[in-house]
Amino acid sequence: MGTASRLLLLLLHNLLLLLPPPCAFGFVPSLDSDFTFTLPAGRKECFFQPMRQGASLEVEYQVLDGAGLDVDFYLESPKGEILVFHQRKSDGVHTVETEDGDYMFCFDNTFSTISEKVIFFELVLDNMGEGEQEDWKKYITGTDMLDMKLEDILESINNVKARLSKSLQIQTLLRAFEARDRNIQESNFDRVNFWSLVNLGVMVVVSAVQVYMLKSLFEDKRKSRT
């Protein structure tokens, strides 16, 4: 092994020693989750999300299917205060700064007695663990010799992670929009077929009545004499 190869291996070994142990890196915590469910007519469904002080909660929802494509929505704080209340909306986006406790958000379809609704919603939780973000720094020593500090590397990784998370969120929302548009198109297709059959039936009946009436006009009602 040549001198250049030994120097390269030694340099890589020293760089590995400067890195923190596995799982020591701290990323800005951001959790995304989505859910689709069916809300029956005359029913209300509520969900609970535990949050911490100084975090951020974003709720985005869409009504994908159902008559009117609307639903009542409200968001309640751990103290019982109504933070958001919307009536008969098809979609919405709401972001709140949170405190310690369980936040409740509900979808209300009690105003509808016949139609059930298919609802999609997504939760985005930011800053859920910033208190542990700086713990990784205690594992790092001698980073002054590096041209690029590990803080800069971590910042770049966090930026990439945030943009990837945003891309995934946008793709999820696009899939929800596509599902809602497809449901609307299928509903319109069924309506067009139904009314086309009705019109066809009416035309057949009207044609039969017209033929019968015309035939009756030219019938000779005089009885033949013998």
Asked if residue 3 belongs to a domain, the reply is no
Q: With a cut of 80, say whether residue 115 has pLDDT above it.
A: yes
CA distance 11 to 56: 43
**pLDDT of amino acid 90:** 87
* Residues 166 and 107 both lie in one domain: no
Domain boundary among 79, 97, 128: 128
Task: Name the band, by pLDDT with cuts 50, 70 and 90, for residue 175.
Answer: confident
Q: With a cut of 70, say whether residue 4 has pLDDT above it.
A: no
**pLDDT of amino acid 22:** 41
Beta strand 30-39 with 117-126 is antiparallel
Q: With a cut of 80, say whether residue 223 has pLDDT above it.
A: no
Type of residue at 217: L
Phi-psi label, residue 225: left if phi above 0, alpha if psi -120 to 50, beta otherwise: beta
DSSP tag of 146: S
Q: In degrees rounded to 5, what are phi and psi of residue 79?
A: -85, 0
Contact 50, 105 (CB under 8 A): no
Asked if residue 226 belongs to a domain, the reply is no
CA distance 181 to 190: 14
Q: Please give the angle made by the CA atoms of 105, 111 and 117, to the nearest 5 degrees.
A: 65
Q: In Å, how far are 17, 44, 64, 75, 224 from 38, measured between CA atoms? A: 54, 11, 10, 19, 74
* Residues 124 and 210 both lie in one domain: no
Asked if residue 144 belongs to a domain, the reply is no
Query: Can you tell me whether residue 107 is helix, strand or coil?
Result: strand
The number of distinct structural domains making up the chain is 2
Q: Please give the residue range of the domain that contains residue 103.
A: 30-128
**pLDDT 10s digits, 39-79:** 999 999 999 999 998 888 989 898 888 888 889 999 999 99
Asked if residue 24 belongs to a domain, the reply is no
Asked if residue 45 belongs to a domain, the reply is yes
Domain boundary among 93, 128, 163: 128
CATH of residue 63's domain is: 2.60.120.680
**pLDDT 10s digits, 184-199:** 788 888 888 888 888 9
Q: Which strands form 82-89's sheet, in the order they lie side by side?
A: 44-51, 101-108, 71-76, 82-89
**pLDDT 10s digits, 9-43:** 554 444 444 444 443 333 344 577 888 899 999 99
Tell the residue number behind the tokens 């720094």, with chain if given. 137
Average predicted confidence (pLDDT) for the chain: 76
Query: By percentage, how much of the chain surpasses pLDDT 70?
Result: 72
Instruction: Check residues 142 and 212 and name the one with the higher pLDDT.
Output: 212
Domain boundary among 128, 143, 176: 128
| pTM, two decimal places | 0.55
